[in-house]
Chains A and B, each alone.
Chain A
Amino acid sequence: MRCIELHWLAASRGGVALLAILVCAQALLGSTKPRYGGTLRVEVLAQSISIDPRAWKPGSREFGTNERLAALVFDRLVSVDSYGRFVGQLATEWSHDASSRRWQFALRPGVKFSDGAALTAAAAATSLMPLLPEGVQVSASGDDLIFQCAESRPDLLEMLASGRFFIYRMQADSSLLGTGPFTLDGNAKNEKSTGNDPNAAGISTPVVSHFTANEICWAGRPFLDKIEVFYGIPPLRALFDLQAGRADLVELAPDVVRRANQSNVRVWASLPVTLYLLRFDSTQSQTANDQLREALALSLDRATMAGVLLQKQAEPAAALLPQWLSGYAFLFRAEMDLDRVKQLRAALPSNVAGGTSPLRLQTDILGDLARLLAERVTVNVRQTGIAVQPFNKAGAHDAGAHAQESADLHLFAWRYSTLSPAEELRGLAKAALAGINVAEGKLSEADRRYVEERKILEERKVIPLVTVPDYAGIAANVRDWQASSWGGWRLADVWLEPPATQKNVDAGYTAPGVRP
């Protein structure tokens, strides 16, 4: 029975007394109130992690996991919310000059590192300096940070709000301290590895990292007491652990998402954040032939790769930057044209991509997904009469004769790591696509960026295949799961509901990255 207590008098407009009543109900608004406490058990696929942003390789597949874990310990100057607005983290306000070359950020006062030392502009500048791209300098001026850019950088906020631009302080033992909601226990080297050979048979031994709530976090103590992160967990085992209640949050590989959905697991999907693509090796004579590259590009059946091979857990890609990041990727088309391929094939010299000198396709990355894609590329291209010989770089010892051979064509993956489309295109072109340089300057303008991206794609030295989201399985007791659509998890705001009070959570749905 509800308890109703007459509490105090309130006068109505006519002066008539009304009794205001305080009702001691048990539910109602109560379920929106988060609970403090508990340990979140997380399982990730990566064999090794590093929370040291200086060690991260842009575009690498581990980048996303590293970034998520680093976000537990470190903060950035700014962040982007789900509504496209910049929100101050360690910076409270910012401004720039008319040319967007000089930016000034005011640091949030009173912020402390997890050891109690005050955050200073000098410490922030020291941590950012090794992370910044060429042409961007940062310095401290009183309590402010000053960024000086060689060229106009209207996208500086997008850049600083994503990727590896965390603020940290290096200690004498080279470990890093942050101002974020958690501290990493035993943070001696900032990185850990399972040491397991991913190709070895048998059960690997998971390695665990412990994160503890930072009681003096400027944004408030997180709701969770601890987070345990197990890594190097095979995809199927992660799913089983979630179903068996041994884990609360697990990274899901794309090839187990369908099984997870069929099992009524609560699945979260980001926007497509990993691009699989082919790269021609510019040092190989065969790949210098424009017609060969065009024929190969037109022979690929991306719709089947995404829809059948990857069970609709991927999207066909025709552009380097995804639609959600550039806003214009829909302008690029990548459709099969077998008639055109036949014409091109007929015109090719006999020594190009023939039986005696097939194109050598090397898979630069591990995993079933990459292997399946390489096989499908091989099938598609062979159907057009072009000979292809696939082999696996990492498993070269299994490929015998191919171990020492150089490749004409590489299959690799690129994980998008910044919210600045200009920075992403620059990074993708420079770091991953050897030999291709994007023209410097004004890439922050969509017109110029589109022209540059189109130029790269028309050269066909790189051929996008598919883009794949990140997936996670989430236990029903995990509340306030508010991950960003581009892959951040925001675990500081997550709390655990005790089993006795759990509301029914719609199972079997794919939680969208973007809230409705």
Chain B
Amino acid sequence: MRELARRVSAELPRNKVSCMNWTNHEAVSEARSQQWKGMFAEESQIKAGDSSPASPGNCAVNVDLHKTPTQIVLTAEVENGGNDKGRLFAAISRAGIPVESVGASTPRMEKELLWQQRERILDAIFVRGANGATDRLIVLQKDALVVYERQGAEWKASLTKPLSEASMTQRAPRGEIYYSLDQPDRVKIVFAGKSCQANLSDASPFNCQAGSEAARTGMLLISTCDSGTWWLRADGGDLTMPDRLELVQPSAQKTEASVAELPVPGPVLSISSGEGLQADTAVAFNLATGNYEVYRVALACGE
């Protein structure tokens, strides 16, 4: 980016004030585009955004952003005084661009993005630290159970327990974490055909027993405003579809309409709770970014 700006700057006639047209062809988010535009303008000493869309021809530099399967290609066309325009390029690996969070909420439910990662997440539970303890995030992956602790604004992994081979070789492995506030250092994990106990305070192996338990289909959610109890569920659909978190009466029929909805940027994969049902934890696959995301979902008081 900065190198392209320098090359563009070198192409321009000296002692001439220039401006540029910057066009993002849905290659990156608008926020990212504006950030890059600022960097480019700063590096090249070209005024950004001076031209109006109605008169794009007035600027000596046109920068276009396009997306290819693996790169963002920046094309700079430069009026250099000759008959032909100079054309300069830069390519930025899409994999190297930091992911931006996607946020949306409804007045009744609120969600907070806690964590996102590229590796598949089967389930996750957020545990609010009480009495000075740190917040914890327990993440069940295909290959390991990872416990993160909040340190300032960041999460640091404090424990990683590898899972067995059996859980790794399924195309759609099942894994659900169950957590109880009265046993803060233990979790139960239900896999297909077995359930395991794991100690979160040391690296001891899982203690597993054969058994089959019904798959979890949602989670209760209790309002801290009026102690009302609700059932939090996902709208459903397959992995290609955006999803919604829906709030319904606990006794509601399957077809009954929800009282509140919260869009999520992809299919919801699990809903669990580590805060005594006063907030739930939802895992979703973000279709826009390809990341697995962990949200804390709670009910908001008031409007």
Binding site for B on A (CB under 8 A): 1-2, 4, 8-13, 18, 20-34, 80-86, 157-158, 218-223, 323-328, 330-331, 419, 421, 445-447, 450, 479-482, 485-486, 492-493, 503, 515-516
A419 in complex: contacting residue of B69, B93, B268, CB < 8 Å: B69
B290 partner, pick from A1, A34, A81, A481, beta carbons under 8 A: A81
Quick check: which of B13-21, B41-49, B60-68 contacts chain A, the rest being far away? B60-68
B52 cross-chain contacts in A, Cβ below 8 A: none
A sample of 14 more A-B contacts (CB under 8 A), given A2-B252, A13-B276, A28-B233, is: A9-B182, A10-B277, A29-B217, A29-B270, A32-B238, A84-B69, A323-B66, A326-B73, A327-B73, A328-B89, A421-B68, A447-B87, A480-B240, A516-B287
Query: Which of A11, A22, A324, A327 lies at the interface centre, i.e. has the most chain B CB atoms within 10 A of its CB?
Result: A327
Q: A446 touches which one: B89, B242, B290 (CB < 8 A)?
A: B89
Residues of A within 8 A of B118 (CB): 85
Q: Given contacts A220-B169, A516-B288, are A2 and B253 in contact (CB under 8 A)?
A: yes
User: How far does the alpha carbon of A492 sit from the alpha carbon of B289 in the complex, in Å?
Assistant: 22
Q: Are B217 and A25 in contact (CB under 8 A)?
A: yes
| Interface mask (B219-230 → A, CB under 8 Å = 1, otherwise 0) | 010100000000
Residues of B within 8 A of A9 (CB): 180, 182
Contact of B172 among A12, A13, A21, A220 (CB under 8 A): A220
Report how far A509 CA is from B58 CA in the complex, Å: 41
Closest CB pairs A-B (n = 3): A327-B73, A84-B94, A220-B171
If A18-B222, A22-B216 touch, whether A8 touches B70 (CB-CB below 8 Å) is no
| Bound-complex Cα distance A114 to B254 (A) | 43
**CB-based contact A33/B180 at 8 Å:** no
Residue A218 contacts which of B169, B215, B236, B268 (CB distance < 8 angstroms)?
B169
Q: How far is the CB of A227 from chain B (nearest CB, A)?
A: 15
Within the complex, the shortest CB–CB distance from A448 to chain B, in Å, comes to 9
Whether A85 contacts B95 in the complex (CB less than 8 A), given A11-B276, A223-B171, comes out as yes
Cβ–Cβ contact B268 & A29, under 8 A:
yes
| Known A28-B234, A29-B216, A80-B69: A10·B267 in contact at CB below 8 Å | no
Contact partners of A331 in chain B: CB under 8 A: 75, 77, 87
The answer on a CB contact under 8 Å between A327 and B277 is no
Say whether B204 faces chain A, with CB atoms less than 8 Å apart: no
Residues of B within 8 A of A447 (CB): 87-89
Interface range, B side: 35 or more
Verify B171–A328 contact, CB threshold 8 A.
Answer: no
**Cα distance A221–B288 when bound, in Å?**
27
**Chain B contact surface mostly:** loop
Bits for B109-138, please: 1 = Cβ < 8 Å to A, else 0: 000000000100000000010100000000
Q: Is the CB of B251 closer than 8 A to any CB of chain A?
A: yes
Residue in contact with A20 in the complex, picked from B220, B236, B289, CB distance below 8 Å = B220
B66 near A480 (CB under 8 angstroms)? no
> Taking the complex as formed, is B250 at the interface, i.e. its CB lies under 8 A from any CB of chain A?
yes
Residues of A near B236 (CB, < 8 A) are 27-32, 503
B8 is an interface residue with CB less than 8 A from chain A: no
Residues of the A chain whose Cβ atoms lie less than 8 Å from the Cβ of B94 = 83-85
Asked whether any CB of chain A lies closer than 8 Å to the CB of B214, the reply is: yes
B277 & A33 in contact (Cβ 8 Å cutoff): no
Contact partners of B253 in chain A: CB under 8 A: 1-2
Taking CB atoms, residues of chain A closer than 8 Å to B169 are 218-220
Residue in A32, A80, A480, A481 whose CB lies within 8 Å of B269: A32
Query: Are B69 and A27 neighbours in the complex by a CB distance under 8 Å?
Result: no
Query: Is B51 part of the contact surface with A, judged by Cβ < 8 Å?
Result: no
State whether the Cβ of B91 lies closer than 8 Å to any Cβ in chain A: yes
User: Would you list 7 pairs from A and B whose C-beta atoms are within 8 A, ordered by A residue?
Assistant: A24-B217, A27-B236, A28-B233, A29-B215, A31-B236, A220-B171, A328-B75
* Measured CA separation A346–B66 after assembly (Å): 41
Task: Give the complex CA separation of A418 and B254 in angstroms.
Answer: 47
**Do B75 and A327 have beta carbons less than 8 Å apart?**
yes
Q: Is B34 part of the contact surface with A, judged by Cβ < 8 Å?
A: no
CA distance A81 to B216 in the complex (A): 29
Whether B181 sits at the interface, judged by CB under 8 Å, is: yes
Contact B64 A330 (CB under 8 A): yes
Q: A2-B251, A447-B88, A493-B171 are in contact. Are A28 and B218 (CB under 8 A)?
A: yes
